[in-house]
Amino acid sequence: MEIYNFSTYNSIYNQFLSELRNVDVQNDRMRFRRNLQRLGELTAYEISKTIDCNTVNIETPLGTAPTLLPSEQPVLATILRAGLPLQQGLLNYFDKADNCYISAYRKHSTKEKFDVEIEYLASPNVSNKVVVLNDPMLASGKSMVLAYKALLKKGVPKKIHVVCVIASQEGVDFIAKHFPENTSLWVGAIDIEMTKESYIVPGLGDAGDLAFGSKED
């Protein structure tokens, strides 16, 4: 698996990520959602560089301009609900892409023990397609792997890009074992620690709650 870690680059990406983490900024829900969108937009731009292009002659008022344009659009897939703003950022740039929505949730047996279950999948056929699978937080990696396995019911993609804002090292190692070898991971930062409840440390907290408000168990 090829890993692109934005925290190792000099980039405006890190400013937006710092605002997501910052306890003095992150409780502004509108700004939190917009920053997730921004990171999706920046990542979409980087992913676009890897997509095959064809030369297309574009007619202008004064002549013809040969232009390299993408020869295909990826399928954008997200895990609800925290992934919605990140998905929107990707969609702002890949604005002709098909979309896939996956509902995954933690089913707790105790406070610290849980299973991840897929409840809902709405997806186009992904056979031989480029798929961009996103979720802001890659903690244990279980949700991402289950989402990938659910997608396989709709066909086998030719290439998968996994997009997340913050990952744990454990989560990165876990998906590397379960995703195809040619998978690319685009991540804002990789944090080393994770709590017993599978929250990333230092992380940023609960991305879904920060974006949309707390939920009742």
Per-residue pLDDT of 140-185, as tens digits, reads: 999 999 999 999 999 999 999 999 999 999 999 999 999 999 999 9
What pLDDT, in 10s, does the model give residues 50-64?
999 999 999 999 999
Q: Which CATH architecture has domain 2-212?
A: 3-Layer(aba) Sandwich (3.40)
Q: How confident is the model at residue 49 (pLDDT cuts 50, 70, 90)?
A: very high
pTM of the predicted model as reported, rounded to 2 decimal places: 0.92
Angle between helices 29-48 and 84-93 (to 10 degrees): 40
Q: What is the mean pLDDT of the chain?
A: 93
What's the pLDDT score for residue 36? 98
- List pLDDT tens digits, range 78-116: 998 899 999 999 999 999 999 999 987 666 555 556 566
pLDDT of residue 81: 87
pLDDT at 110 (0 to 100): 57
Confidence check: pLDDT of 119 > 90: no
Q: Which amino acid is at 64?
A: T
What is the rounded CA–CA span in Å between residue 53 and residue 100? 23
Instruction: Give 217's pLDDT tier (boundaries 50, 70, 90).
Output: low
- DSSP assignment, residue 74? P
Confidence band of 191 (pLDDT split at 50, 70, 90): very high
Give the DSSP per-residue string, 74-95. PEEEEEETTTHHHHHHHHHHST
192 alpha-carbon distance from chain centroid: 19
